Amino acid sequence: MANWQVLHSFRTDRSVAKQKLAPGTVKRVLAFARPYRRELGVFLTLVVLDAAVSVITPLLVRRLLDDAIPNRDLGLVWTIFCIYAGLVIFDSGLSLANRWYSSRIGEGLIFDLRSQVYDHVQRMPVAFFTRTQTGALVSRLNNDVIGAQQAFTSTLSGVVSNVILLIATVAVMLHLSWQITLLALILVPVFILPARRVGARLQAITREGMTLNASMNTTMTERFNVAGALLVKLFGRPDEEAAEFSSRAGRVRDIGILSAMFSRTFFVALTLVAGLAQAVVYGLGGRFAAEGILTVGTVVALAQLLNQLYGPLTSLSNIRVDVMSALVSFERVFEILDLPPMIDERPDAVPLPNVAAAVELDHVEFRYPSAAEVSLASLESVSVLDSAPSQQVLFDVSFTAPAGALVALVGPSGAGKTTISMLPTRMYDVQSGAVRIGGVDVRDVTLQSLRDAIGVVTQDAHMFHDTIRANLLYARPEAMADDLVAACRSAQIWDLVASLPDGLDTVVGDRGYRLSGGEKQRLAIARLLLKAPGIVILDEATAHLDSESELAVQQALKTALAGRTSLVIAHRLSTIREADLILVVDEGRVVEQGRHDDLLAAGGLYAELYRTQFERQATV
């Protein structure tokens, strides 16, 4: 185990030792460890005791060889045997206790860090997720959290154990023979200097191996999800795909072989130097014993002590790298926790009633946040984030969707319709003006009550890779089976669900790909009905459906919209004709509003859109 820790230390990237930590990092690390201070105290005590046992056992062997055996003192032999056996048993117990406390502290820290990071990331705005790489976030929750945990369970225990063991070993060896001890210490640079060269090469190989593995994993992730697999089958070339993957996997294989050989070289070098040092001890010690300067027991004790001298010395020679690696991992975790969510709840926020209230936009100005406002360079794989403000998207937008009314948003692609639909739910906050529901600014209400009051069905409704039941219960976990059935009936999807072999317990697949577009949309509507919000927002929920699926979804939507305030991004003439109010959006402005016949008569942009997009539907 000690040799493995030495190897692990030399594989660590030494460039971290040159990094500068943010002020207060160490203090925050200690604050994270505060709940485990009692366990840490016991853990470090066990580490010290373990080091003490390692030094005591060679001294018992010395006493056995120098006193008990020459004097034929069977009582002393029995006493030494009992003490030695007791120490072995005690050390085994120490090892188990040490492992338990190490696991308790380490897994506890992993749990605390992961829970805090996951909770914090979940509260970040949508803009954060549109910019960051999912793999980078997962890495923070896995690699960096585990790296931070090692600060206490590996690095801290290693430092304490190695320091105590080194001091005790050198002190005892000096007491037994200062000449042999100094000669053994002279051999240390002979091992450490070449080991550092091997370690530097091993570090480069390890880094290249990690990069190649990441590239190979990225390829598998992209090709093995449903969308990627479909694209490969439609456009890809299987032979070339297999050849490219084999090439990357082959390089990973070659790096693995090279890494194994350098690791073995490291161990061989350590064993060689330790063996040479032991040869010196036996050679010089044997001469001293023959001359009566040392006893045979002292020579054997020195040889045993020498075995536990080089490992701690080598580990401590690289301790700055180990400590900084752990602290940098902590800093990368803190970097996420310190990123403030743009959408936050005010301390005096009030709950919003879940009713069909009026939705009002009052002189709203909006631009999407820049990268520097919502993200981190390390999560986007760039050196510096773009801090330039984004272009303004909405300009002085004002309208009111009356309580219980159906309001349709129409306009050219990119006009700002989807952006407007995201503001009532606070997916984004406006730069100026206000969004009000029931006369209350959405920034003044609790986020949970806002989510409860508004239901959204998007153009591509997302489903988790889980059962139909689980996807429905995500909207209302306490719902009973009868509630699920009723929601599915209202959404025109129950006949399909009932016909499936597993019914509600049918797994929908990755992102719901086992369902057709129309089936997935109707299931999303069932989820919305189960939530029973007072306000509904639909973002082109039937845009890419065939006519049969669209008819079923339209019937489901009539049930979903009945008695609710509805904001609908519409592309179907039937929806627009039924709207109580039509808002025509163009280049971030509401340029017209009114009912269908009035807007047609006005001869403006709506009339033009009607001729180019909707008139054909009227003749069908």
Distance between CA atoms of residues 570 and 370, nearest Å? 29
Whether 2 shows a pLDDT value over 50: the answer reads: no
Strands of the 589-594 sheet, one edge to the other: 454-457, 535-539, 565-569, 406-410, 581-586, 589-594
Residue 1's pLDDT band (boundaries 50, 70, 90)?
A: very low
Q: What is the pLDDT of residue 142?
A: 77
Contact 571, 412 (CB under 8 A): no
Q: 359-371, pLDDT tens digit by residue?
A: 999 999 999 888 7
Lowest mean pLDDT among 63-67, 175-179, 278-282: 278-282
pLDDT, the chain, mean:
81
Nearest to 26 by CA among 117, 129, 151, 120: 151
Distance between CA atoms of residues 429 and 86, nearest Å? 69
Whether 504 shows a pLDDT value over 80: the answer reads: yes
Q: 438-495, pLDDT tens digit by residue?
A: 999 999 999 999 999 999 888 778 888 889 999 999 888 999 999 999 989 888 889 8
Q: Please state whether beta strands 565-569 and 406-410 pair in parallel, antiparallel, or not at all (unpaired).
A: parallel
Q: 2-11+22-337: which CATH architecture? A: Up-down Bundle (1.20)
Counted residue by residue, the chain has a size of 620
Q: What is the pLDDT of residue 372?
A: 76
Q: Which residues pair with 454 in a beta bridge?
A: 535
Whether 545 shows a pLDDT value over 60: the answer reads: no
Q: Provide the sign of the torsion angle of the four alpha carbons 402, 407, 412, 416, taken in this order.
A: positive
Whether 575 shows a pLDDT value over 80: the answer reads: no
Whether 224 shows a pLDDT value over 60: the answer reads: yes
Lowest mean pLDDT among 71-75, 91-95, 244-248, 597-601: 244-248
Q: Provide the sign of the torsion angle of the four alpha carbons 319, 321, 324, 329, taken in this order.
A: negative
- 238-266 burial code (b ≥16 CB/10 A, e <16): eeeeeeeeeebeebbeebeeebeebbeeb
Q: What is the pLDDT of residue 207?
A: 65
Residue located via tokens 């080194």: 166
* CATH 1.20.1560.10 domain extents, the chain: 2-11+22-337
| Greater model confidence, 317 or 240 | 240
Which of the listed CATH numbers 3.40.50.300, 2.60.120.560, 1.10.10.10, 3.90.1200.10 matches domain 403-430+445-619? 3.40.50.300
Contact 459, 541 (CB under 8 A): yes
Nearest to 318 by CA among 17, 20, 47, 29: 17
| Greater model confidence, 140 or 86 | 86
Contact 588, 368 (CB under 8 A): no
Q: 99-125, pLDDT tens digit by residue?
A: 888 888 888 888 888 888 888 888 888
% of the chain at pLDDT higher than 90: 20
| Residue 401 phi, psi dihedral angles, 5° rounding | -95, 110
| Greater model confidence, 386 or 212 | 212
For residue 305, what are the contacts with CB-CB under 8 A and spacing of at least 6?
Answer: 55, 58, 169, 172, 173, 176
Q: Which residues pair with 406 in a beta bridge?
A: 566
Q: What is the pLDDT of residue 315?
A: 72
Distance between CA atoms of residues 513 and 508, nearest Å? 7
Tell me how far apart the terminal alpha carbons of the chain are, to the nearest angstrom: 77
Contact 443, 378 (CB under 8 A): no
Nearest to 113 by CA among 329, 317, 302: 329
* CATH 3.40.50.300 domain extents, the chain: 403-430+445-619
Burial class (CB in 10 A: 0-12, 13-18, 19+), 72: exposed
Whether 163 shows a pLDDT value over 50: the answer reads: yes
Amino acid identity, residue 140? Answer: R
Residue 47's pLDDT band (boundaries 50, 70, 90)?
A: confident
DSSP for 555-615, written as a single string: HHHHHHHTTSEEEEE---HHHHHH-SEEEEEETTEEEEEE-HHHHHHHTSHHHHHIIIIIH
Q: What is the pLDDT of residue 386?
A: 64
The token duo for 430 is: 């406006």
Whether 430 shows a pLDDT value over 80: the answer reads: yes
Whether 324 shows a pLDDT value over 50: the answer reads: yes
Q: What is the pLDDT of residue 579?
A: 87
Q: What is the pLDDT of residue 12?
A: 54
Residue 203's pLDDT band (boundaries 50, 70, 90)?
A: low
| Residue 194 phi, psi dihedral angles, 5° rounding | -65, -35
Q: What is the pLDDT of residue 4?
A: 46
Distance between CA atoms of residues 611 and 604, nearest Å? 11
Give the 3-state secondary structure percentages of the chain, helix then strand then coil, rounded to 5.
65, 10, 25
Whether 8 shows a pLDDT value over 60: the answer reads: no
